[in-house]
C-alpha cells in the first residue's frame, strides 16, 4: 500500500509538473508575442474561462468525489453518475454565456477589447474547453483512478498548449491564441469522453429527479469554497486591470505563472487527501503529510526564484523586468499556501459542503477588499503582498477548521477497541 501510494504521488506530481510546465511555456510564448498589453488581455480571458466553469458546475465535482466511494449500490451509483453527466453537459452552455457576460461587463472598466465580437467568440470556445477540463477528471478521481484522471488532465493541457503554439505561428493575436487554445482543449476532451464512456463512468441515462436535486443541493454547499478559492487566486488580475490597466496584468501574470511552480507536489498530495478523507472518516490523519509537503514546496520555491530571476528579462525583454521582484514575493505566498492545499481537499472529501462553502465565501470577500486596498496603494507589489496575507490566512483558518472537525468526529467514536485495533471509519459528514 505504501509503494502504491508513493507511485500515485509520483504520477500525480509528474502530471502536475507537465501541466504547469505546459502552461508556463504557453504563457512565456504568448507574452513574447503579444507584449504586456496583449498578454494582459489574454490573461483576463483565461482567468474568466477558468472561473466560470466552477460557478456553472455548482460544486457537483467535489460532491461526486465525496459521495461516490460510499455509494455501494450499483443502480444508485449509476444514477449518481447520470446526474453528474447531464449537469456537466448543461454547464457547458451556462459557462459560455457567463463568460461572455462577465467579459462584456468588464470592458468599460478595464479595456474595450474585452467586448469585441471576435474576442468573445474565442472566449466562449475556451470556456467550453475549461468546463470539460474541470468536470471530467473528477469522474476518474471519484473512482480512485488517479493515474487516468491526471493523465487526461495532462492531455487536455497539452492539447491547449499545442493549439496555442500553432496560433503563435499562424495567427499571433489575442483572439487567435485564445481560440486555438480552446480548440486544442476540446479536441483532447473529445477523446477523454470516449474513454470515460468505455469505463462506465459517463452515463447518459436519465437520472432520477431526487438524485439530481440531491447532487446539486449538496454540491452548492461546496461552491463557496471552490468558487471562493478561484476568486481569491485570480481576483488580483481583475482588480489590477481595473486600476492599472491590461499591461500591468501582463507583467504581473508572468511572475504569477512562474510563482505557481512550487504548487506541483501539494496539488498531487491534495488529490489523494481528498479520497483519504472520504474513505477513512474520523481515522484520517492529515498532519502526517503536511511537513514533507511544505519542505518540498520550499525547495521548489528556492529553485524557481533563482531560475526565474535569471531568465525573465533575457526571454521576454526589459518591459517584463518588473516581474522579477514580484516573483520573489509570490513564491513566499506559495509556501504559505501549502497547508491550505492539504486542508481544503480534506474538507471537501469529508463532505462538509456547507461549512466549507461559508468558509470560501468569507475569504473571497476578504480577498476583494484586500486587493482593492493594496493595489491602490502599491500597484502590482501590493497585489503580491496581499497574496501572502490571504494565503497565510487561508492556511491557518482551514487547518483549524479541519482539526476541530476531526476532533469532534473522533469524540463520537465508541472506544471499545483493543489497543492494537485500527479505528473504525466514522463518517465525517456527521460532523
Is the C-alpha dihedral spanning 258, 222, 107, 174 positive or negative?
positive
Q: Which residues contact 75 (CB under 8 A, 6 or more apart)?
A: none
Q: Which residue has the cell 499571433?
A: 172
Instruction: Write out the DSSP string of 229-251.
Output: HHHHHHHHHHHHHHHH-HHHHHH
pLDDT of residue 423: 39
Query: What's the CA dihedral at 307, 308, 309, 315 to 10 degrees?
Result: 100
How many angstroms from the chain centroid is the CA of residue 93?
20
Task: Give the integer Cα–Cα distance in Å for 103 and 119.
Answer: 9
Q: Which residue has the cell 468569507?
A: 362
Q: 284 phi and psi, to 5 degrees?
A: -65, 135
Spell out the long-range contacts of 189-198 with Cβ–Cβ below 8 A and sequence spacing 24 or more: 189/129, 189/132, 189/133, 189/136, 189/156, 189/159, 191/155, 192/132, 192/136, 192/152, 192/155, 192/156, 193/132, 193/136, 195/148, 195/152, 196/136, 196/139, 196/140
Residue extents of the structural domains in the chain: 2-412
HSE, side-chain direction, 13 A CA sphere, residue 399: 18
H or E, element range at 413: none
DSSP secondary structure code for residue 424 in this structure: P
Q: 96 phi and psi, to 5 degrees?
A: -60, -45
Model confidence over 20-68: pLDDT tens digits? 666 677 777 777 788 888 888 998 998 899 889 888 888 888 888 878 8
**Could you list the pLDDT tens digit for every one of the 431 residues in the chain?**
444 556 666 666 666 666 666 667 777 777 778 888 888 899 899 889 988 988 888 888 888 887 887 776 778 888 889 999 999 999 999 999 999 999 999 999 889 999 999 999 999 999 999 999 989 999 998 888 888 888 888 899 889 989 988 998 888 899 999 999 999 999 999 999 999 999 889 888 888 888 888 888 877 766 666 666 676 677 788 888 888 888 888 889 888 888 888 887 787 777 777 767 666 655 566 667 778 788 888 998 999 999 999 988 888 888 889 999 999 999 999 999 988 888 888 887 776 767 777 787 788 888 888 998 999 999 889 999 999 999 999 999 988 888 887 777 677 665 444 444 333 333 343 33
Look at the chain and count its residues: 431
Cα–Cα distances in Å, from 33 out to 42, 121, 229?
Answer: 12, 21, 30
Q: 219 phi and psi, to 5 degrees?
A: -65, -35
Report the candidate in 46, 45, 54 with the shortest Cα–Cα distance to residue 95.
54
DSSP secondary structure code for residue 281 in this structure: G
Neighbour tally for 10: CB within 10 Å: 12
Q: Annotate 147-189 with three-state secondary structure.
A: HHHHHHHHHHHHHHHHHHHHHHHHCCCHHHHHHHHHHHHHHHH
pLDDT of residue 361: 79
Angle separating helix axes 246-259 and 353-411, nearest 10 degrees? 30
Amino acid at each position: 500500500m505504501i509503494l502504491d501510494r508513493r507511485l500515485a504521488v509520483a504520477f500525480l506530481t509528474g502530471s502536475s509538473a507537465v501541466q504547469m510546465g505546459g502552461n508556463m511555456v504557453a504563457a512565456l510564448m504568448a507574452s513574447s508575442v503579444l507584449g504586456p498589453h496583449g498578454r494582459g488581455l489574454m490573461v483576463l480571458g483565461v482567468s474568466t474561462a477558468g472561473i466560470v466553469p466552477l460557478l456553472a458546475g455548482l460544486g457537483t465535482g467535489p460532491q461526486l468525489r465525496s459521495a461516490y466511494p460510499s455509494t455501494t449500490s450499483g443502480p444508485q451509483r449509476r444514477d449518481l453518475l447520470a446526474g453528474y453527466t447531464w449537469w456537466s453537459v448543461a454547464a457547458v452552455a451556462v459557462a459560455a454565456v457567463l463568460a461572455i457576460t462577465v467579459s462584456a461587463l468588464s470592458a468599460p472598466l478595464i479595456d474595450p477589447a474585452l467586448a469585441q465580437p471576435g474576442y468573445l467568440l474565442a472566449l466562449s470556445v475556451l470556456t467550453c474547453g475549461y468546463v470539460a477540463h474541470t468536470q471530467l477528471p473528477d469522474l476518474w478521481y471519484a473512482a480512485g483512478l488517479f493515474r487516468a484522471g491526471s493523465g487526461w488532465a495532462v492531455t487536455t493541457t497539452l492539447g491547449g498548449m499545442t493549439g496555442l503554439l500553432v496560433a503563435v505561428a499562424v495567427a499571433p493575436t489575442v483572439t487567435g491564441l485564445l481560440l486555438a487554445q480552446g480548440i486544442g482543449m476540446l479536441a483532447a476532451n473529445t477523446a477523454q469522453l470516449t474513454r470515460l464512456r468505455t469505463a462506465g463512468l459517463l452515463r447518459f441515462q436519465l437520472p432520477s429527479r431526487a438524485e439530481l436535486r440531491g447532487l446539486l443541493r449538496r454540491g452548492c454547499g461546496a461552491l463557496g469554497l471552490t468558487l471562493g478559492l478561484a476568486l481569491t487566486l485570480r481576483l488580483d488580475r481583475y482588480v489590477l486591470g481595473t486600476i492599472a490597466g491590461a499591461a500591468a496584468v501582463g507583467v504581473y501574470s508572468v511572475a504569477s505563472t512562474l510563482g505557481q511552480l512550487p504548487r506541483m507536489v501539494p496539488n498531487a498530495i491534495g488529490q489523494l487527501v481528498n479520497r483519504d478523507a472520504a474513505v477513512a472518516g474520523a481515522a484520517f490523519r492529515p498532519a502526517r503529510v503536511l511537513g514533507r509537503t511544505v519542505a518540498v514546496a520550499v525547495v521548489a520555491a528556492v529553485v524557481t526564484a533563482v531560475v526565474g530571476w535569471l531568465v525573465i528579462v533575457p526571454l521576454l525583454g526589459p518591459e517584463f523586468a518588473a516581474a522579477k521582484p514580484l516573483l520573489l514575493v509570490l513564491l513566499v505566498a506559495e509556501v504559505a499556501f501549502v497547508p491550505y492545499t492539504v486542508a481544503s481537499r480534506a474538507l471537501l472529501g469529508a463532505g462538509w459542503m456547507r461549512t466549507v462553502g461559508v468558509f470560501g465565501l468569507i475569504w473571497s470577500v476578504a480577498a476583494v477588499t484586500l486587493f482593492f486596498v493594496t493595489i491602490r496603494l502599491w500597484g502590482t507589489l501590493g497585489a503580491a503582498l496581499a497574496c501572502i496575507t490571504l494565503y497565510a490566512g487561508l492556511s491557518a483558518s482551514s487547518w483549524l477548521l479541519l482539526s476541530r472537525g476531526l476532533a469532534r468526529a473522533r469524540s463520537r467514536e465508541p472506544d471499545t477497541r483493543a489497543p492494537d485495533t485500527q479505528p473504525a471509519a466514522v463518517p465525517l459528514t456527521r460532523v
